[in-house]
Structure 1
Amino acid sequence: MHLLWRINVFDLFFSLFLIYLKCNRVKIISHDASVKKGGNITLSCHLIETENNLTHIVWQKQTRENPKQETFLIIDKDGKTEHKNDLLDKVKFIGNIKEKNGSVQLLGMTLMDDGIYTCIFIFPSGKNQTNINVTVLVPPVGNVTGKTLVSSHFNIILASCVASNGRPAAEVFWRLGALNDSLRTEIGYTEHTDGSVTAVSQILGAPSKDLNQKKIQCVVKHSTLTKELELDYIINVHYPPELVVISPDDPTQTQEYLCSVDCNPTPTSYIWIKVNGSTPRSEGNKLFIPKSSSDFNGVYICTASNRYGSASGFLYVNNTVFMQSLYCCFFFSFLFFLKLLLVFKTLHNWHKQQQPQMYVRFWCIAENLYNPVDGKPSKVNVKCED
């Protein structure tokens, strides 16, 4: 009797063990999935390694729209579908209950559909289920914003690069080139109620005139983008006139002078003034000085102004025709003098060559002759020899 009881207990545990092994051999093939906003997604759910007959396949979800778990689709053993919550146009059964394939397709995904989807296989003896994480991705919208800056020595925001409403958050950074050491960046994120994120990267620095018209680039990277989004931006800095240069408008025509100014924006007015005299005709940044008269010789002032200030440049004019004539006279006089000197030297050399050589070398000896009577000199005798 005792032995029989022991055998029955052993058979019971062995049967339970076989049932356990059989249940654990059941596998559900599925995987997490992601989809772009507005796209369609397939949720695969396939039961294998079981011979048990299904009675139902049930799909449930917990989403951003409804955090509570709800059933949205039931498939009975004959393959008939029952849609819940008016999702007939949203969910399509693409599996086969006889093949224990419960795959479905979700259409027109939105951020509110992001969440956990549960696939449940129901048998007469129980159920098997698996969870599938569904992520809805949203490409960010990138743009660079900025405003016209006024030159100063204080650090301010020069430009902002915005990657808005992306899911997940986009990566945003700047390519500054040679300005990398003089400017700095800051980045911030704002998460919205629908799960999207806006990333903002700002450029900070002092808006000096050296930054005017410098080109920088914002780069946005995101898993939904096939390549980096590159956004160019040109810094625009306003500053008053600082340097005024007056020069001939055409180097070959010195009667027109141009007033060139370093400023941004361009001057709104040019004022020409002649010191101690009347100003000739001018048009904007051009001054017209007649070449035929010395009455317009003197100092001229060009004052250029924009909304931030003004600056002046100076020009000294001496009659161009008179000076050119004076230079020409001096030049030709100098040439005539050189030519005359050359002729004189040539004649002098020719004259020397035409005269005979008259040079004679000789020695002369002078001696005194004395009177023998009184001993006084009577005459001088000179003898010369060549």
Structure 2
Amino acid sequence: MEDICFCFLWIVRCELMFMLLLSGHSEGLQVIGGRVTVVQGATVTLPCQLTDSKETLKQILWQRSTRGRPFRDNFFIILEKNGKYPIELTDDRFRFVGNFTEKNGSLQLSNASLMDEGSYSCIFLLLESGNHKTEVSLNLLVPPVTSLKNESVVLGSEEVLLATCTAAAARPPGEVRWVTGNAKVRVTTNSTRHDNDTTTTKSSLFGVPTRDLDGQLIQCVVSSVALDTDKFQPFFLQLFFSPSNVRIIESSDDSLLCISEARPEPTFKWTRSGLALPLSGVRAEGAQLKFLSRSLDLKGLYHCEVSNLYGRQSAQVFVHVLSVSPLSLVIGWSLFGLLLLLLIVEALTCFRFGFLKRRRTSKGFQLLRAHPKKNQDQQLQKGWTKVKVIFEKKVNGSTESGVEQSE
């Protein structure tokens, strides 16, 4: 009986000694992991390092519990003999980048996605002391998908939506702001959170589409910790309007040009009032109407209609055609100028002759204004007195003088 008790005590003592030895070997041992953050689509290293241990390492095992795989499973193992052995061969994005001899069990993950976010366990199996593990937390940043929608804004006097800037599916949410200069606008922003913990932020720009806004430089700026730099999306605000100020001008000696203000670019249609547009005599090329000849049958009232998606307006002009050559026109104008000069000379001559005649006549006539009297005859009551005309004439070489009464 005493022998049995002695043997039992010896076994217990040996077990205690073994446990003390293991405790001595594992004292100071440390497995280093950590928390890492990566942008979606990038490459990240999951650190795992065993320090202060001289024990023999048998294997390194990795486990994970992620968004895509919520139940913890073994997915990668590194053995002493063959160096590495991924349990799940289908996921070749993981690669062993550590050193087995140096007890470095780090893994590299390429093309990280939001489904990879979660907790990773790195477990070292030592020959003497067994398993030692650490946790590595992987955090994913998702950069926003940015977009800008510029609305088709028609010139008007009421507030309308000008543009919408979106930072979609970001984690954490992206920030959207506008750079508008002196433009008088209003901004509204709203956010929507999705099931995968990403957020879409939309910012809308409102304003009254007046001429002052047309051509203004507007910028949408998106900021996020998942972006290296802010994303700028500039655009010029263009307002659309129907054709206005339509007019027809003569662009050359043989063509007309139809001018208008419109956005978007309008189309031009030439017609002739009451008659078909001559196919052989004129050619319409957009805003230009070119006359190919000077035929008299080309004359008439021509219309230019300008139209786009938002309206139409027209102008008209009457075309007179002179079937003459430019040289004939020069000769005609020269003859007209010569005739005009002769008329001016003749008019001046007549004026001079009439002036001299009046001067000579004034010596033989004397007009007297008188007031009528009661006893004068009916002729004198008209307000004029009798006038004596003094004349001289020669008869047979002699001069005769006389006085003749005249009314």
Could you tell me how far 1:47 is from its partner in structure 2? Answer: 2.4
Which residue does the alignment assign to 1:239? 241
Which residue does the alignment assign to 2:208? 206
Could you tell me how far 1:260 is from its partner in structure 2? Answer: 1.6
Which residue does the alignment assign to 1:309? 311
Q: Percent identity?
A: 30
Question: Is 1:258 aligned with 2:260?
Answer: no
Cα deviation digits, residues 260-300 of structure 1 (max 9, x gap): 212223444456789xx999987464578999x9xx89x99
User: Is 2:270–2:289's contact at 8 Å kept on the other side of the alignment?
Assistant: no
User: Is 1:60–1:119's contact at 8 Å kept on the other side of the alignment?
Assistant: yes
Could you tell me how far 1:34 is from its partner in structure 2? Answer: 3.4
- Report the 3-state secondary structure (helix = DSSP H, G, I; strand = E; otherwise coil) of the residue aligned with 2:115: helix
Could you tell me how far 1:237 is from its partner in structure 2? Answer: 3.2
Whole-angstrom distance in 1 between the partners of 2:114 and 2:160: 36
User: Is 2:96–2:108's contact at 8 Å kept on the other side of the alignment?
Assistant: yes
Whole-angstrom distance in 2 between the partners of 1:35 and 1:105: 12
Whole-angstrom distance in 1 between the partners of 2:53 and 2:149: 60
Cα deviation digits, residues 186-244 of structure 1 (max 9, x gap): 34444444444444333322344554555534344455555544434344433222323
Q: Normalized against structure 2, the TM-score is what?
A: 0.55
Amino acid of the structure 2 residue aligned with 1:29: I
Describe the shift of the 1:287–1:43 C-alpha distance in structure 2 as closer, same or farther (beyond 3 A).
closer
State which drifts further: 166-175 or 265-274.
Answer: 265-274
Whole-angstrom distance in 1 between the partners of 2:81 and 2:108: 19
Amino acid of the structure 1 residue aligned with 2:158: F
Which residue does the alignment assign to 1:92? 95
Cα deviation digits, residues 66-114 of structure 1 (max 9, x gap): 2333333345677865644556734333334543322222344332111
Whole-angstrom distance in 2 between the partners of 1:35 and 1:206: 44
Amino acid of the structure 1 residue aligned with 2:50: L
Whole-angstrom distance in 1 between the partners of 2:92 and 2:310: 63
Cα deviation digits, residues 1-38 of structure 1 (max 9, x gap): xxxxxxxxxxxxxxx9xx79x85x44443443334444
Question: Is 1:152 aligned with 2:156?
Answer: yes
Whole-angstrom distance in 2 between the partners of 1:126 and 1:202: 61
- Report the 3-state secondary structure (helix = DSSP H, G, I; strand = E; otherwise coil) of the residue aligned with 1:99: coil
Which residue does the alignment assign to 1:132? 136
Cα deviation digits, residues 134-161 of structure 1 (max 9, x gap): 2344454433333433333333332333
Question: Is 1:61 aligned with 2:60?
Answer: no
- Equivalent residue for 2:106, pick from 97, 103, 110: 103
Could you tell me how far 1:63 is from its partner in structure 2? Answer: 0.8
Amino acid of the structure 2 residue aligned with 1:204: F
Which residue does the alignment assign to 2:376? none
What does 1:8-87 align with in structure 2 at a 5 Å threshold? 23=27, 25-51=28-54, 57-75=60-78, 83-86=86-89
Describe the shift of the 1:113–1:311 C-alpha distance in structure 2 as closer, same or farther (beyond 3 A).
same
User: Is 1:190–1:197's contact at 8 Å kept on the other side of the alignment?
Assistant: yes
User: Is 1:217–1:232's contact at 8 Å kept on the other side of the alignment?
Assistant: yes
Whole-angstrom distance in 1 between the partners of 2:258 and 2:90: 75
Amino acid of the structure 1 residue aligned with 2:159: N
User: Is 1:269–1:306's contact at 8 Å kept on the other side of the alignment?
Assistant: no
Question: Is 1:183 aligned with 2:182?
Answer: no
Whole-angstrom distance in 1 between the partners of 2:35 and 2:76: 19
- Report the 3-state secondary structure (helix = DSSP H, G, I; strand = E; otherwise coil) of the residue aligned with 2:105: coil
- Report the 3-state secondary structure (helix = DSSP H, G, I; strand = E; otherwise coil) of the residue aligned with 2:156: coil
Whole-angstrom distance in 2 between the partners of 1:206 and 1:260: 28
Whole-angstrom distance in 2 between the partners of 1:55 and 1:329: 120
User: Is 1:33–1:134's contact at 8 Å kept on the other side of the alignment?
Assistant: yes
Describe the shift of the 1:183–1:127 C-alpha distance in structure 2 as closer, same or farther (beyond 3 A).
same
Whole-angstrom distance in 2 between the partners of 1:230 and 1:69: 42
Whole-angstrom distance in 2 between the partners of 1:288 and 1:43: 76
User: Is 1:209–1:239's contact at 8 Å kept on the other side of the alignment?
Assistant: no
Describe the shift of the 1:237–1:28 C-alpha distance in structure 2 as closer, same or farther (beyond 3 A).
same
Whole-angstrom distance in 2 between the partners of 1:52 and 1:306: 84
Which residue does the alignment assign to 2:390? none
Q: Normalized against structure 1, the TM-score is what?
A: 0.57
Amino acid of the structure 2 residue aligned with 1:152: G
Which residue does the alignment assign to 1:115? 118
User: Is 1:272–1:287's contact at 8 Å kept on the other side of the alignment?
Assistant: no
User: Is 1:72–1:87's contact at 8 Å kept on the other side of the alignment?
Assistant: no
Which residue does the alignment assign to 2:382? none
Cα deviation digits, residues 325-371 of structure 1 (max 9, x gap): 79x969x97xx99xx9xxxxxxxxxxxxxxxxxxxxxxxxxxxxxxx
Whole-angstrom distance in 2 between the partners of 1:318 and 1:271: 17
Q: Which runs of 5+ in 1 are unaligned?
A: 1-15, 341-386
- Report the 3-state secondary structure (helix = DSSP H, G, I; strand = E; otherwise coil) of the residue aligned with 1:112: helix
Amino acid of the structure 2 residue aligned with 1:67: P
Amino acid of the structure 2 residue aligned with 1:132: V
Amino acid of the structure 2 residue aligned with 1:149: V
